[in-house]
Amino acid sequence: KAPALLKDVNVMITAGPTREAIDPVRYISNHSSGKMGFALAAAAEQLGAKVTVVSGPVNLTTPAGVNKVAVNTAQQMLDATLNQVASCDIFIACAAVADYRVADVAEQKIKKTDNSDEMQLRLVKNPDIVATIAGLANKPFTVGFAAETQDVAHYAQDKMARKNLDMIAANDVSKPEQGFNSEQNALSVFWPTGHQQLDLADKSELAQQLMALIAKQYAAQ
């Protein structure tokens, strides 16, 4: 059994995709399955933490002992995290949050028209959840993810600085065997004074390695 490195530490993790409605039957989303976030939740629970996962729509069983808050949209995910942040020691943003939502959600199903081959959707920016949490005066130890398709280390370190994060775990999502909706992943983890590469492995194994790193940096702060 793993040592209780995070005994009674409150950990909140965002997981999965968000869904942004277009009309009552359509939405914008992405390929996140929630597997990475749920694996982190299980790994944190194994280390003795009290874990809440704030999750978009996923098809996964919630790990034993983990509290799940189900949401759909980015705004709902932000509200749910803000609701619990006062009692949160470590916040991990693993969700693939839609950067934009539809400006005017149609109340009725949008009809196909005969007089044009085009239609346009106007999008507006969603709030940035991890940056909002990391901007709070009493912020928890905050860990972000970075999903990149090129220059992974450069963009990840830039995101860590811009969003005021304590750590960032970057994955190269251009590779088919890792990242979104795969069983495995590989991560380049950065913090202000260090870096560690976590090689390709099952998400459950990788989550244990990442949680051990997070626990170490959290204890060292």
Nearest distance, CB of residue 112 and ligand PMT, angstroms: 31
Does 130 show up as a binding residue in the annotation? yes
Q: How far apart are CA 4 and CA 192, in angstroms?
A: 25
Is residue 99 close enough to count as binding ligand PMT by CB under 6 A? yes
Tell whether residue 73 is a contact of ligand PMT (CB under 6 A).
no
| Span from 19-27, 103-111, 144-152, 205-213 in contact with ligand PMT (CB under 6 A) | 144-152
> CA-CA distance, 68 to 75, in Å (whole number)?
17
Least separation in angstroms between residue 39's CB and ligand PMT is 8
- Say whether residue 171 binds ligand PMT (CB under 6 A): yes
What does the alpha-carbon distance between residue 116 and residue 113 come to, in Å, rounded to a whole number? 6
DSSP three-state, residue 187 = strand
Which residues, other chains included, contact 45 with Cβ-Cβ below 8 Å and sequence gap of 6+?
51, 63, 64, 65, 66
DSSP for residue 178: B
Is residue 181 involved in binding ligand PMT (CB under 6 A)?
A: yes
DSSP 138: T
Return residues touching ligand PMT (CB under 6 A). 14, 16, 32-37, 74, 93-97, 99, 126, 128-130, 144-147, 159, 171, 173, 179-181
User: Among all residues, which ones are annotated catalytic?
Assistant: 30
Q: Binding-site residues, please?
A: 99, 109, 127-130, 145, 159, 163
